[in-house]
Amino acid sequence: MKIGFIGLGIMGKPMAKNLLKAGHEVVAFDITKANVENVVAAGAKAGASAAAVAAECPVVITMLPNSPHVKTAVMGAGGVLEGAKAGTILIDMSSIAPLASQEIEKACAEKGVKMIDAPVSGGEPKAIDGTLAIMVGGDKAVYEEVKDLLLKMGATAVHCGTVGAGNTTKLANQIIVAVNIAAVAEAFTLAKKAGVDPNLVFDAIKGGLAGSTVMNAKAPMMIGGNFEPGFKIDLHIKDLSNALDTGHGVGAPLPLTAAVQEMFSTLHADDCGQNDHSALAKYYAKVSGTKIGK
């Protein structure tokens, strides 16, 4: 199958490469030329624009930073809808606001394009090894049509409801991840200040109820002082902003989300926005005067 892929950042590059490894043709486009060249070197074809990609591909995937970027890539001049034919399937795998997904789907429907939202969780490591968790919103028949394709990039692809449900699920995911990382940073800061080796604390508790995928991934980064991004703080700020906006819109209280968002915002102000979100440890180091690790 010939697949268009628009958006070749930290996540998009390895996702597109996994489609190539699975034997699909990929026509790729990104506003950053070096990103396109990277994927072309792996076997993809370069597209001249989002419209040009959509003109030759029956399925188009977008993987972009936020709602305005997706709207521009799909609905703007030179966008997907300018080149797509009736019957084209658009899979937006970006993490955006649910209401934006619904707005984009409406514009797609007017041109006969079928659209689902399918955001992912797992960060760069799982994008690379093709084991992302994919959350899908939209027509179930369209989901069934592309499910096998999604599973070339992810370990799971669960249909969560109508358009926007995928991104609502992703927001729930991002809340849990953010609060969990903050809890890990807080707990390990306590251990360090109390004179207990964080490495030993990690070994002691990771097999118990406190153990989690988040702690297993992020505690070693905190202890090692390694904040190279798998998922950037600035992107998590974007997700939590969408979560807070959605929560306000539906009347869901999100006090823990708001607290972690303030921590992230402090780190952004300290020029740490491009760090991995495990750099919440830096927030605790700032307020406690004690680093967890190096």
Whole-number CA gyration radius for the chain: 20
On average, the pLDDT of the chain sits at 97
Q: Evaluate whether 232 touches 274 at the Cβ level (below 8 Å).
A: yes
User: Is the pTM higher than 0.75?
Assistant: yes
- CA 237 to CA 283: how far, in whole Å? 14
Report CA-CA distances (Å) from 80 to 57, 174, 239, 277: 10, 28, 24, 32
- Domain definitions of the chain by residue range: 2-161, 168-288
Tokens matching residue 130: 């093709």
Tokens matching residue 228: 């190279």
- What would the pLDDT profile of 96-141 be if each residue is shown by its tens digit? 999 999 999 999 999 999 999 999 998 888 999 999 999 999 999 9
For 112, the 3-state DSSP assignment is coil
- What would the pLDDT profile of 10-36 be if each residue is shown by its tens digit? 999 999 999 999 999 999 999 999 999
Q: 168-288 domain in CATH 1.10.1040.10? A: yes
Instruction: Out of 17, 170, 218, 232, pick the active-site residue.
Output: 170
CATH superfamily of 2-161: NAD(P)-binding Rossmann-like Domain (3.40.50.720)
Is 218 a known active-site residue?
no
Whether 2-161 and 168-288 share one fold: the answer is no
Task: Work out the average pLDDT over 48-56.
Answer: 97
Give me the percent of the chain exceeding a pLDDT of 90: 97
